Structure 1
Amino acid sequence: MTVWDRPEPPTRPAPLDRERIVAAALALADEGGLSEVSLRKVAARLDAGPMRLYGYIATKEELFDLMLDEVYAEILPADPPGDWREALRLHAHRTRQAALRHEWLADLLGGRPALGPNGLAVAESTLSALDGLTDVDTAMRAVETVSAYFTGAIRREIANLRAERETGLSTHEWQRASGPRLAKMLETGRFPALSKLVYDGTDIEADESFAVGLDWVLDAVAAKIAPEAKETKETEEPRR
């Protein structure tokens, strides 16, 4: 039985419910990451005894599931686009925006499918945009391919943000500080491709990098779907 299927215990003297527990856990995670989330710390924030929380949540993993589903509510679009490409693009951008608000989300992306109501609604929203264009297996591969891209891109971006805080150096400041060491290695001539990238490549911001990479992935998915969509349409059209 999942945490969503298990009823909450009856109201007790001090008000407590899963909604308040999850809100407290989200605040802790936003402040210090998932490592700061424990049932003891959540209970302390709610001015409750830790054992009281076990009536609502059995494990920390269940708490993470509830936190993740709460953020999926932020990702779910109020008015999903009808076009599959725009639907998957919107899903990717809304996931990135949520991760920039809640950096700990990057640590939970890419795991097992989310089974909470909001997570299932997000999955339904993305898959339904492909309904009728191709078979269900190809639709699933399309969603997984786009998800794999934005999960990796988001994790890399969040890792860079964390490194900036830990070192006190922005990415550009770190590059300048590391420049002499890198230049010395490139002068050996052992890394010609890397040298060309460093001296001739264009440095673009995270927003543009994410959007361009996403378009490339969507182009690749479109190339796979287009022939199948055409074949499906021709099969369904009545003969004249």
Structure 2
Amino acid sequence: MTVWDRPEPPTGPVPLDRERIVAAAVALADDGGLEAVSLRKVAARLNAGPMRLYGYIATKQELFDLMVDDAQAEILPAERPADWREALRVLALRTRQAVLRHEWLADLLGGRPALGPNGLAVTEARLAALDGLAGIDTVMRAVETVSAYTTGAIRREIANLRAERATGLSKRDWQRASGPHVTRMLATGRFPALSKAVHDGADVDAEASFTTGLDWVLDAVAAKLTRPPA
């Protein structure tokens, strides 16, 4: 039985329910990452005994599942765009925005399907955007492809943000500090394609990189949708 199917126990002297527990856990994670979340710390934040929490949540993984589902409520737009491409684009952009608000979410995306009500609603919205435009197998592969790009790009962005905090170096500072080494390596002539990218490529910010890549992925999906069956 999943945590969503299991009824909550009656509340005690200190008001408690899964919604309060999840809100406390999300606040801890927003401040200190997933490593800051434990049932003991959540209980302390709620002025409740740790053992009381086990009546609502059996394991730390269940708590993480509930936290992910809570965050996924932020991904769904108030209204779904009628155009399939815009619908998928909005969901991807809102996923990125949710992760930027809750960095810990990047560590929990991309695994097994989310089975909470909000997670299922997000999956439904992605599939519904393409419903009727191709066979179900094509629709599923298209949704998987867009989701894989979204998750991968977001994780790379979050990894860069964490590296900046860990080293105290901004992207520009890191580039300047690494410049002499990179210059020496490129001068060997062993990396001509990389040299061209370094010297001639445009430097874009994370948002522009994400949206450009997303548009290219959606172009590929569009090509599959318009291709006649073999």
Task: Please state which band the TM-score falls in when normalised by the shorter chain.
Answer: over 0.9
Q: Does residue 1:96 correspond to 2:99, yes or no?
A: no
Segments of 5+ residues of structure 2 without an aligned counterpart are none
Q: Which residue of structure 2 aligns with residue 236 of structure 1?
A: none
> What is the one-letter code of the residue matched to 1:120?
L
| 1:17 is aligned to 2:14 | no
After TM superposition, what 4+ stretches of structure 1 lie above 4 angstroms from structure 2? none
Which amino acid is the alignment partner of residue 113 of structure 1?
P
The one-character-per-residue Cα deviations of 1:179-226 (angstroms, maximum 9, x if unpaired) are: 011101111111111111111111011111111000000000100011
The 3-state SS of whatever aligns with 1:218 is helix
- Identity across matched positions, percent: 78
Aligned residues: 229
Q: Aligned with 1:188: secondary structure?
A: coil
Deviation per residue, 1:94-146 (Å, 9 max, x gap): 00000000001110110100000011111111111111111111111110000
In structure 1, what residue type is equivalent to 2:3?
Answer: V
Give the corresponding residue for 1:119.
119
Q: 2:3 is matched with which residue?
A: 3
Q: CA deviation at 1:227?
A: 2.5
Structure 2: how far apart are the matches of 1:177 and 1:224? 44
The letter of the residue matching 1:46 is L
- What are the residue-to-residue correspondences of 1:1-240 with 2, within 5 Å? 1-228=1-228
Q: List alignment gaps of at least 5 residues for structure 1.
A: 232-240
AA paired with 2:17? D
One-letter identity of the residue aligned with 1:178? S
CA radius of gyration, larger in: 1
**How big is the alpha-carbon RMSD for the aligned residues of Structure 1 and Structure 2?**
0.9
In the superposition, the TM-score normalised over structure 2's length comes to: 0.98
Rounded to whole Å, the distance in 2 between the matches of 1:199 and 1:130 is 41
Once the two structures are TM-superposed, the CA of residue 27 in structure 1 deviates from its matched residue by 0.5
1:47 Cα deviation (Å)? 1.2
| Inter-partner Cα distance in structure 1 for 2:59 and 2:205 | 40
Taking the aligned partners of 1:201 and 1:59, their CA distance within structure 2 comes to: 48
Give the deviation of 1:83 after TM superposition. 1.2
State whether residues 43 and 49 of structure 2, in contact with CA within 8 Å, keep that contact through their aligned partners in structure 1: yes
2: CA distance, partners of 1:44 / 1:11: 17
- C-alpha separation between the residues in 1 aligned to 2:163 and 2:173? 12
